[in-house]
Amino acid sequence: MKKYLSILLICLLALTVFGAAAEETAPVEIKVHDGLTISVVVPEGYTFSGNWYGEILHASLIPADPATPAMVLSVAASEEYGGVTINDLSEDELNSLIAVCAADYASPSYAISETTHGTKLIVLDENSDGDEYVEIITLYQGYFVQVSMEPTDETQLTADQIAVAVQLLSDMEFVTK
């Protein structure tokens, strides 16, 4: 009898865990203009606060845990790259874009990564003694999309923390009507 109760309890706990894992928070819908909405899935443990500055979105992703890095999501239309996605750029064009993005860094390093959908990402990392931050930049359908991340303390950002920002970009959807 105890054996059956134990098995039943384990099954109920497993269903509870899987049920909780299946729950997702509703994405935040951001209306850019009449024909475009951006859907953003806010990472667990963060709150979203979006502000428009002219035609540029700056959304703060504020962590509940003070040891977790803060993030800012920026989205801005580009006249120069109207309708272009980063994967459309030649190697020379991509290198020029990297050079422009890294110009204000004191001691930058960069890597090319991808979203889970295959969109290229430029991951810029500041390596100076005084500052620690990472910016992940992409160009999607003529919009610069950037996530800036910095620690709330003096530690270095980890690969796992940066992966949260990459996942944020992977989960974003541009919905056109």
**Number of domains the chain contains:** 1
Tokens of 141: 């359908």
12 found inside a domain: no
Residue type, 176: T
Among 63, 19, 58, 67, smallest CA distance to 42 is for 63
Please spell the DSSP secondary structure of 94-119, one letter per residue. Answer: HHHHHHHHHTT-SSEEEEEEE-TT--
Nearest partner of 26 among 171, 149, 144, judged by Cα = 171
Domain that holds residue 169: 26-176
> What is the per-residue pLDDT for 4?
31
Distance CA 106, CA 98 (A): 14
6 pLDDT more than 50: no
* Token pair recorded at residue 127: 């390596």
**Domain harbouring 151, CATH code:** 3.40.1000
**Tell me: the pLDDT tens digits for 69-106?**
999 999 999 999 998 999 999 999 999 999 999 999 99
Evaluate if residue 9 carries a pLDDT over 60: no
Q: What is the CA radius of gyration of the chain?
A: 20
Examine residue 11 and state whether it is found in any structural domain, yes or no.
no
Residue 7 lies in a domain: no
pLDDT digits (tens, 9 = 90+) for 10-52: 333 333 333 333 345 689 998 887 778 889 999 999 999 988 8
Q: Is 120 among the domain residues?
A: yes
pLDDT at 24: 52
Q: Cα(74)–Cα(52) distance, rounded to whole angstroms?
A: 10
Classify residue 19: in a domain, yes or no: no
Could you tell me if residue 35 is inside a domain?
yes
Answer whether residue 126 is part of any domain.
yes
**pLDDT tens digits for 105-117?**
999 999 999 999 9
Q: How many CA atoms lie within 13 A of 110 on its CB side?
A: 22
47 within domain boundaries: yes
